Structure 1
Amino acid sequence: MKAHISYQSLASAAAALLTAAAAAVAEASTMVAFTAKSVSSCPASYTQWAATPHAPFATGSHRIPSMRPAPECRTFSSSTIEQVIRNITEKIQSPEIRQLFINTMPNTLDTAIAWHHRADTNDSVGYPYTFVITGDINAQWTRDSTNQMMPIMPYVALDPGLRTLVAGLVNMQAEQIADYAFANAYKPPTRSGLVPGENSWAPRDRVVPGFNLTTVFEAKFEIDSLAAFLKLSTAYWRQTKGMGQVDMRLWSVAVRRVLGVVARLQKPTFGKGGELTDAVVEFSRAASSPTESSFGNGRGNPVRATGMVRSLFRPSDDSVIFPFFVPGNAMLAVELANLAEMLSALGSMAEECDVAQRLANEIRRGIMDHATVEHPQYGRVFAFEIDGYGGRLVMDDANVPSLLSLPYLGFVSRNNSVYVNTRRLVLSTENPWYFEGDALSGVGSPHTGFRRAWPMAVAVAGLTSDSRVEVAAALDMLVASTAGLGLMHESVDVADPTKYSRPWFAWCNGVVSELIMYAVDRFPGLI
């Protein structure tokens, strides 16, 4: 089952609704600085804007405010996306969900395109580049930036401006990974003229391989970051039927780096004679929280070979306990297979195509052979982390990739028996990071502590459900979770939505808009 399956029907509907004239107008998609000096009325910080509700308010008990900045203050504008918003909202009866969708679907375009170099015939660079911040942190996470583009991906073929925007992000990620493949987040390139965000920890971190502080914001090694680069690349290829505007020379270097890292980190910690292997990636940080550093003097706990790939950190940026992080490996297996399909279709990089398919098969086999375990209440389930020695961690985390998100990622179908059992466990108090309260219930994370559910996990529970009742319940909780601010937060106290973390979290806004689009497509009339 392919990820985002509802997108295909939504994209087809959008194509029918958008006239040729509208598509032509889309040529005028533009990027503007959010803090443009020429527009004195624009807020200096969207973080401040997001923390205050703005009129007009939707009717309903939660009074969802209007949280889009004025058109002249948006960081990127697309007439195509504006038309899509109108098309979708016409099908939504609930004023509150309608306004929530208007706020969340374009949030990355409105606020997070920090730099977009379009390139033209007089440009010596010759290719577009795009730097996408995660929201209230002035850095680009590979994982976040990929996922932030997913709500608009079905429409890039209809809009030359969007196509250039996404191609620019593919090029930016390729440049970053070609330079240093072990980071989770990067600073803007010097040529952008942006003032980079600063991570006060990074200069003191002990990292192997070492990195350049000018380009790397943080060097926590997370395998889903590599998978996210492949996901963006193959999604762009599928939607545009090619790799136009992508610097394929640079992109090829980045792909080879990814394949090399993946193959190396399949190796066990110890060789046959007990010596340490060359599967070396290390991260140590002198911090008060144990999740900020790695076991084994930075190398992570020992592993035996399983076909899976070790990671030092989870997508929460928290350290793993057992280095074979199962959801990340599942995502990697899917995206390596997608890469192999793409390279085969392009007729290029034949050797890398074979390697990608082999790695995808080995990782998938490793998960099925080693990471499915018996639970006394739920039967056969996927473990969250394993080590190949028999060590296993049974839980789930709110961040994606997660066990809950496996069908969303395209790893298994929703009716896969092991997934069905796993889902029941994850959405119960047998998962130590699942919390229930009067305000909302959902999966949380060690990253934000006890009794805090993540709206992202609530949205993923809806996106992986075929139940009209479950999807409606997820949307009701999400509407109630905004603390009257009309945007999604990172985490929310399950008893009191006014206690939340991060007022501006663009990735989560996008995922919630995906759920609303899914509900419109899958359950007409539900909302």
Structure 2
Amino acid sequence: METPKILIRKAEELEAYYQEHYQEAAPLVKNCFLNTIETTVKETGDDYFVITGDIPAMWLRDSAAQIMHYVRYACEDTKLQAIIEGVIRRQARMVLTDPYANAFNEAPNGNCYAHDLTDMGPYIWERKYEVDSLCAPVYLIYRYWKAVGKTDIFDGRIHDMLLLIRTVFSREQKHEESAYSFERKNCVETDTLPCGGKGNPTGYTGMTWSGFRPSDDRCIYGYLIPSQIMAVKAMEYAEEILRTVYQEEESAGKCRKLAREIEDGIKRYGITELPPFGKIYAYETDGLGNYVFMDDANCPSLLSLPYLGYCTAEDEVYKNTRAYILSEENPCYFSGSVIKGVGSPHTKKGNVWPIGIIMQALTSCDAEEIKECMDMLLASHAGTDYMHESINADDPEDYTRSWFAWANSLFAELLIRVKELGIYDAGGKGQ
């Protein structure tokens, strides 16, 4: 597929900036900026299929994140608009095929990650229900709408997708009454749900249950707070679209009501005292008095709340939470001789995720902290000039997934932000 000229031009402009202001970053610019469009996007009739990189399936969450840094340029290029709209159409088709699946095949070939005990179908690669997977297409279409101003994309399929997402979120407020279950045999325990595939018990909170995390690891407790927060914003975006574009006041009102119910649940059950940090967001809770305190590098994360548009970086509870996340008290925070940052139980202990370091920089108001994050990222790609999934904090040569497009796209977004902030403009590195 031919790369839209606007993206080539923007990549070249960004590369020139770093050649002048931070030469060590320059070799990564085009590689990471263009990685998604050049290696993972495929035209399939009237839409576009986006693989994650080294896995031949399309994740709702990853595909939205992989192209998000292109959205800001779409108003300047009709070819790019066609691609993004094609991805949106494919995502809507996927959600309408099965809103409980997290990853899909390009065609109904029956390929799957594993033969799981759940309601599989020929389009489904994996059927791990993750709240953030349904939020991702809403975020993408909303931000595209705001960037381009077009309403052509809002057809009946998009309308039905928005209503279905709200319906599923509402249904999963009382998960025990839902038909969804998931079990995988002969696997690590993080790949299957306990209690006959229903997950650990939860109490009613107003929040919406999630079976799995953005890492695709199972939730210990079903109310995953970063995903709840993303759901609040997704329902607010859906409300605005339904009211403004489709002129459906009743449907918009239902989205607003659900957003408020989830947010009330977050405030009542998702914020708790953790000495010495004060009031912080828990990572997970069950509404029955149990909590998981940690953060995972995969987004949505607690670290990413300002990036998700939920609060400012100066919000007091967020600041307390951030202090906890970036400390040794967070069981997923690792510090080594080369890098330090947030990792994930999804990979081995001691591995830091570039996505975590990038998100730390994207949510920081401190130029020195951002520079430190940039230095760590550039010290940890093992000479490949690409980002990876995770990296041994003491040995950059020991990494997982050499072709992980989400990390490359997010790093490109950081490169854009750093340039916009002018962090290296005066007396920067490489001059």
Out of 103, 112, 125, the position equivalent to 1:199 is 112
Q: Report SS of the residue matched to 2:314.
A: coil
1:109 aligns with 2:20: no
Q: Report SS of the residue matched to 1:406.
A: coil
1:160 aligns with 2:86: no
Aligned pairs for 1:255-274 (under 5 A) are: 255-267=162-174, 269=176
Q: What runs of 5+ residues in structure 1 fail to find an aligned partner?
A: 1-30, 32-75, 118-127, 191-195, 270-277
TM-score by length of 2: 0.95
Q: Which amino acid aligns with 1:305?
A: Y
Out of 374, 377, 399, the position equivalent to 2:273 is 374
Do the aligned partners of 1:139 and 1:197 also contact (CA within 8 Å) in 2?
A: no
Task: State how far apart, in whole Å, the 2-side matches of 1:134 and 1:368 are.
Answer: 34
Out of 144, 147, 151, the position equivalent to 1:243 is 151
Do the aligned partners of 1:140 and 1:185 also contact (CA within 8 Å) in 2?
A: yes
Aligned pairs for 1:84-163 (under 5 A) are: 84-92=10-18, 93-117=21-45, 128-163=46-81
Q: Report SS of the residue matched to 2:173.
A: coil
The C-alpha deviation readout for 1:214-251, integer Å capped at 9, x for no partner, is 2000000000000001111111211221232x361122
The C-alpha deviation readout for 1:79-103, integer Å capped at 9, x for no partner, is 1111112222332222221221221
Counterpart position of 1:169: 87
Structure 1 residues 485, 197: CA separation in 2 closer, same or farther (over 3 Å shift)? Answer: farther
Calculate the aligned-residue CA RMSD, in Å: 1.4
| Structure of higher CA gyration radius | 1
Per-residue deviation, 1:371? 0.5
Q: Report SS of the residue matched to 2:234.
A: helix
Q: Report SS of the residue matched to 1:413.
A: coil
Aligned pairs for 1:434-449 (under 5 A) are: 434-449=333-348
Task: State how far apart, in whole Å, the 2-side matches of 1:505 and 1:461 are.
Answer: 19
1:485 aligns with 2:384: yes
Deviates more, 1:394-403 or 1:299-308: 299-308
Q: Report SS of the residue matched to 1:409.
A: coil
1:224 aligns with 2:166: no
Q: Report SS of the residue matched to 2:268.
A: helix
Do the aligned partners of 2:386 and 2:408 also contact (CA within 8 Å) in 1?
A: yes
Task: State how far apart, in whole Å, the 2-side matches of 1:107 and 1:288 are.
Answer: 32
Task: State how far apart, in whole Å, the 2-side matches of 1:148 and 1:138 are.
Answer: 15
Counterpart position of 1:10: none
Q: Which amino acid aligns with 1:223?
A: V
Deviates more, 1:92-101 or 1:461-470: 92-101
Q: Which amino acid aligns with 1:158?
A: E
Per-residue deviation, 1:116? 4.2
Q: Report SS of the residue matched to 2:345.
A: coil
1:386 aligns with 2:285: yes
Task: State how far apart, in whole Å, the 1-side matches of 2:47 and 2:330 are.
Answer: 41
Task: State how far apart, in whole Å, the 2-side matches of 1:344 and 1:91 are.
Answer: 42
Provide runs of 4+ in structure 1 moved above 6 Å.
none
Task: State how far apart, in whole Å, the 2-side matches of 1:248 and 1:347 are.
Answer: 9
Counterpart position of 1:359: 258
Q: What runs of 5+ residues in structure 2 fail to find an aligned partner?
A: none
Aligned pairs for 1:515-526 (under 5 A) are: 515-524=414-423, 525=425, 526=428
> How many pairs does the alignment contain?
424
Q: Which amino acid aligns with 1:184?
A: N
Q: Which amino acid aligns with 1:151?
A: H
Task: State how far apart, in whole Å, the 2-side matches of 1:176 and 1:518 are.
Answer: 31
Out of 201, 205, 211, the position equivalent to 2:120 is 211
Do the aligned partners of 1:268 and 1:304 also contact (CA within 8 Å) in 2?
A: no
Structure 1 residues 412, 197: CA separation in 2 closer, same or farther (over 3 Å shift)? Answer: farther
1:187 aligns with 2:131: no
Do the aligned partners of 1:265 and 1:280 also contact (CA within 8 Å) in 2?
A: no
Task: State how far apart, in whole Å, the 2-side matches of 1:112 and 1:316 are.
Answer: 20
Task: State how far apart, in whole Å, the 2-side matches of 1:238 and 1:97 are.
Answer: 30
Q: Report SS of the residue matched to 2:272.
A: strand
Counterpart position of 1:305: 204
Q: Which amino acid aligns with 1:152?
A: Y
- Percent identity between matched residues is 34
Task: State how far apart, in whole Å, the 2-side matches of 1:221 and 1:469 are.
Answer: 39
Do the aligned partners of 1:171 and 1:247 also contact (CA within 8 Å) in 2?
A: no
Do the aligned partners of 2:154 and 2:245 also contact (CA within 8 Å) in 1?
A: no
Task: State how far apart, in whole Å, the 1-side matches of 2:64 and 2:247 are.
Answer: 24
Task: State how far apart, in whole Å, the 2-side matches of 1:115 and 1:79 are.
Answer: 17
Do the aligned partners of 2:110 and 2:123 also contact (CA within 8 Å) in 1?
A: no
The C-alpha deviation readout for 1:259-312, integer Å capped at 9, x for no partner, is 11000001263xxxxxxxx23321011133100000211111111111111000
Structure 1 residues 200, 413: CA separation in 2 closer, same or farther (over 3 Å shift)? Answer: closer
Deviates more, 1:355-364 or 1:148-157: 355-364
Task: State how far apart, in whole Å, the 1-side matches of 2:278 and 2:223 are.
Answer: 21
Do the aligned partners of 2:112 and 2:124 also contact (CA within 8 Å) in 1?
A: no
Aligned pairs for 1:407-418 (under 5 A) are: 407-418=306-317
The C-alpha deviation readout for 1:3-59, integer Å capped at 9, x for no partner, is xxxxxxxxxxxxxxxxxxxxxxxxxxxx2xxxxxxxxxxxxxxxxxxxxxxxxxxxx
1:419 aligns with 2:318: yes
Counterpart position of 1:80: 6
Counterpart position of 1:397: 296
Q: Report SS of the residue matched to 2:403.
A: coil
Do the aligned partners of 1:236 and 1:243 also contact (CA within 8 Å) in 2?
A: no
